[in-house]
Structures are given as C-alpha cells and as structure tokens.
Amino acid sequence: MSGFIDQIISKNLNTSVKSSQTISGGCINNAYKIETDKGLFFIKWNKKEIIDMFRTEEKGLKLLNNHSPVHSPKALSYGEIDNKSYLLTEWIEKGVQKPTFWESFGRNMARQHKVTWSHFGLDHDNYIGSLPQSNAQHKSWHSFFIEERLKPPLNLGASKGLIDTNIQHQFDILFNRLEELIPDEPPALLHGDLWSGNFMTNNDGKAAIFDPAVHYGHRETELAFTQLFGGFSPDFYSYYNQEYPLEPEFKERVDIHNLYPLLVHINLFGNSYLSGIIQTLRRFS
C-alpha cells in the first residue's frame, strides 16, 4: 500500500511521503493521514470502479471551497493508480470548539444557503453515501423533490421488496399536496448530507464540513436533516435564523423533508427506518 500512497503524493504534490497513518474512512472507503514536507494531507481510496464517487465528491468540495464560508477540506485531486481510485484533499486537524462555535457555524451555514443558482439540481449527478443521486435540473423545487429525490429511492426500495404498494400510493397522495405544504424558496447551495458525522471542529475552533452530496435545493431540507440524528446545538438554529430567517412553521415540515434521507437509509441499511416514513405519510397524505 505504501507504493500506492507514494505514487499519489509524488504525482500530485511533487514531494515524498514522510509518514502515513491509517484512519477511519467511514463505512465505505479506506483512508490515510499523510505527512510530507509540504504539510499534512488526507487520502481516501477504494476499488477503481468507485472513481466516479471521488470525481463528483471533488467537484462538490470545490463548490463548497469556492462559495461557502464554512470550512471544507480543499479538494486537490482524484484519480486511479494500481487499479485503485482515490481522492486527495488537505488534512483538517481536530481542535477544540470556541465559545462562538455554534454561532459561527449557524451564521455561516445561513450565508452558504444564500448562494443561489438558476435551477434546483446541479450540472452533474453525484452520490449520497454509496447511492447515486440524480441532480437533473428543475425550475420548481416541488418537481425536483418528487422526481429527483423521492421517486428514485422509492422505486429502488420497491424493487427490493422494502416498499409496498400501499406506501407508494400514500406517496402519490403526498406528491399532490407538496405545493400547499412546502413554501417556495430560491435554490440554495446545500452540503446535501449534513449530519453530525459529517462535521468536525477544526484547529481554529470552528466547524468544518466534509463528505458532501452537493446540489442546489430547498434549504429547509438541509436543516431538517441536521435534526434527524441529532448532534446540533439549539444555538445553531437560533443563529441561523437570525442570519437568514426561515419561513413560519418550519418545524411542522421537518418530517416531510426527511423522507428523502429515510428512503436512502432504507435502501442502504434495511427497513428499520420504515416506521418514520409511515408516520409522516399518515400525517400528510
């Protein structure tokens, strides 16, 4: 493996590896912390067939690098060597939260969400976890949410026998109500997979976000997802709302937005997440 790492560093940074350390790369990839004369770097790698995931992640990181005030690892390169694919980024050193951590995080995420685009979606598809994520462009968020977010994992779950026809019928009813349930918003630059496992405290004591599933979407979907598994202080939402106030009754819509990540989790991890979907459908369909 050292030869593989050496080739990546030599090719992309024109230097050599002083030391490397295996670290946790999540449930999908392998990962290394690399020390060189030019600083510390992060490499995650997998079999060569996974290269498209790294290609789109690099593009997503570059969007965040260029347009978000929230720190994200600088994307440096992706590629294939020795029948393995890889993504090379800067290394983010862990730090201790400043007292203003949640204020800074909340306000900067609100500023990121003010970055907008002409359509909902993106100019390329990407992934959420290991699942393909369609970003076909729509002028309407409601049609984007139905066609590119809810229907693909719903159909995939049905093909696996995880979603029955009754649930599919309830989704059809919900689709017809979305315009009355969810207020219009301009497309917002979203991290796309923002939960407590995808942010950390950097060595400046501020938030850093990583492992994105970037697209331009409805900002409420981002904030709803942060609440699905916890880990965000109430101060985060308070300061966010000061910087970019949410439409009234956002809390009532959280469960609708979280149908997408729950459908993703059903397809990745099984139907233990189905009960949350059923409860939401009973409320709104």
Q: Which helix (H) or strand (E) holds 235?
A: helix 234-243
pLDDT tens for 197-242 read 999 999 999 999 999 999 999 999 999 999 999 999 999 999 999 9
- 3-class DSSP state of 143: helix
pLDDT tens for 141-158 read 999 999 999 999 999 999
Q: Does residue 55 lie within any of the structural domains?
A: yes
Distance (Å, whole) CA 81 – CA 86 = 8
Mean pLDDT of 104-109: 98
Tokens of 75: 């994307």
Q: Does residue 95 lie within any of the structural domains?
A: no
Say what the pLDDT of residue 28 is: 80
Torsion on CA atoms 183, 273, 150, 168, rounded to nearest 10: -110
Say what the pLDDT of residue 17 is: 93
Q: Does residue 96 lie within any of the structural domains?
A: no
The share of the chain scoring above pLDDT 90, in percent, equals 95
pLDDT tens for 170-196 read 999 999 999 999 999 999 999 999 999
- 3-class DSSP state of 131: strand
The dihedral sign for the CA sequence 236, 242, 243, 247: positive
Is there a single domain that holds both residue 178 and residue 277?
A: yes
Check: CB of residue 150 under 8 Å from CB of residue 157: no
Mean residue pLDDT of the chain comes to: 96
Residue 44 Ramachandran class (φ > 0 left, ψ -120 to 50 alpha, else beta): beta
Say what the pLDDT of residue 285 is: 84
Whether the predicted pLDDT of 21 surpasses 80: yes
pTM: 0.96
Mean pLDDT of 83-108: 97
Mean pLDDT of 118-132: 97
CATH number of the domain bearing residue 154: 3.90.1200.10
Is there a single domain that holds both residue 65 and residue 123?
A: no
Q: Which long-range contacts (CB under 8 A, 24 or more apart) does 165-169 make?
A: 167/274, 167/277, 167/278, 167/281
Which range, of 13-22, 66-75, 89-98, 169-178, averages the lowest pLDDT? Answer: 13-22
Our CA angle for 160, 124, 135, nearest 5°, is 50
Check: CB of residue 213 under 8 Å from CB of residue 60: yes
Angle between helices 259-269 and 151-159 (to 10 degrees): 30
Say what the pLDDT of residue 214 is: 98
Tokens of 189: 């630059």
Check: CB of residue 29 under 8 Å from CB of residue 61: no
Picking from 55, 90, 125, the residue at the C-terminal end of a domain is 90
pLDDT tens for 263-278 read 999 999 999 999 999 9
Whether the predicted pLDDT of 25 surpasses 70: no
Say what the pLDDT of residue 68 is: 98
Say what the pLDDT of residue 24 is: 77
Residues designated catalytic: 193
The residue behind tokens 């202080």 is 233
Whether the predicted pLDDT of 2 surpasses 80: no
Is there a single domain that holds both residue 12 and residue 55?
A: yes
Q: Does residue 204 lie within any of the structural domains?
A: yes
Q: Does residue 85 lie within any of the structural domains?
A: yes
Tokens of 139: 């002028």
Paired strand residues for 86: 45, 79
**What's the chain's length in residues?**
285
Its domain, for residue 245, covers 101-284
Q: Does residue 261 lie within any of the structural domains?
A: yes
The residue behind tokens 């916890």 is 230
Q: Does residue 9 lie within any of the structural domains?
A: yes
Tokens of 267: 């397809």
Is there a single domain that holds both residue 252 and residue 158?
A: yes
Cα distances (Å, whole numbers) of residue 198 to 72, 183, 219? 10, 27, 17
Is there a single domain that holds both residue 127 and residue 229?
A: yes
Picking from 26, 57, 90, the residue at the C-terminal end of a domain is 90
